[in-house]
Amino acid sequence: MLDQQIEIINKLGLHARAAAKLVSTANRFESRVEIEFGGQKADAKSIMAVMMLAASKGSLVTLTTDGHDEQDAMDAVCALINNYFEEEE
């Protein structure tokens, strides 16, 4: 199991579109992917759970991946977040 803290840096935070991208990315892997913020833990493969976190710009979230492809999953999700969810700012 891997975990890592990461800051949400895109302008709108984990809004619908970013949440959708996060979930699509997590869904590519078999590992369990979770995202924790404000004492709440969400299944990163559930778009609604991710949106309910309401993590805005500047939020520090903890990612957890668990499974045989946990490293790849962690790398892909981190890359997405650090890449501003490929949004036009």
Of residues 6, 9, 13, 15, which has the active-site annotation?
15
Least distance CB 86 / another protein (angstroms):
12
Query: In angstroms, rounded to a whole number, what is the distance separating the alpha carbons of residues 63 and 33?
Result: 7
- Nearer Cβ to another protein, position 60 or 71? 60
**In this structure, how many other beta carbons lie within 10 angstroms of the beta carbon of residue 11?**
13
**Chain contacts with another protein (rule: CB under 8 A):** 12, 15-17, 19-20, 23-24, 43, 45-49, 51-52, 54, 56, 88
CB 21, CB 85: distance < 8 Å = yes
Q: Could you tell me if residue 84 is left (phi over 0), alpha (psi between -120 and 50 degrees) or otherwise beta?
A: left
Least distance CB 77 / another protein (angstroms):
15
- Nearer Cβ to another protein, position 39 or 88? 88
Catalytic residues, by residue number, are: 15
